[in-house]
Amino acid sequence: MGEKIGYARVSTREQNLSSQEDALSKAGCIRIFTDKISGKEFNREGLKACMDYLRAEDTLVIFRLDRLGRSVKEMLDLCAQLESRHIKLVSLQDNLDTSTAVGRFTMQILASLAEYNRNLILEGCKAGIEAAQKRGVKFGRQAGTKMKKPKKEAVITMYKAGTSIKDIMNITGIKSIQTIYNYLKEEHITPSRR
């Protein structure tokens, strides 16, 4: 029988973890890991420590699903990682428990919706790029910054939708991986290895 381990996060604006910690303690968590940073921050030391601490058959208890990630994709990736390690997930406010059939089904629906949304965004980006090319807009390395803004927006949109760096480069025609990283860093997004 595993242990219940809690994870709580607040942004620097909220500054108060006590309500989440109280709820997690009441739910039977023997240890609670915390972070006090914005969801845009990719590296969360509390979450990393929590993931390192969890063992098979443990249950990760959170206050709400949005405490896990800054995006649906990040949250679902984390849930998939938990599942592969045989760790259950309970979200108190969302009434979600992956140890139940209903909880697992809910996560499958969320994953399907996220995939559908990614595909819609990709199709929209491809259509936008094709329309721009028909109007004579050139993609790839250019002198000056005329194309920087729309191309950067396409990169950010596709990355947030879960598109791999390689696919973004293929779709946009950007040849340098450093250009992609620069666009992401300008938006304070730390690229992950996808």
Catalytic residues: 11
| Spatial distance between the Cα atoms of 10 and 65, rounded to a whole number of angstroms | 13
Owner of token pair 């029988």 = 1
> By C-alpha distance, which of 17, 192, 3 is closest to 87?
3
Strand runs labelled E in 23-144: 31-36, 59-62, 88-91, 96-97
Between CA 147 and CA 57 the distance in angstroms is 51
Q: Which residues of 162-187 are buried (b: 16+ CB within 10 A; e: fewer)?
A: bbebeebbebbebeeeebbeebbeee
Cα distance between residue 158 and residue 3, in whole Å: 38
For tokens 């803004």, what's the residue? 149
For the chain, count helices (H), then strands (E).
7, 5
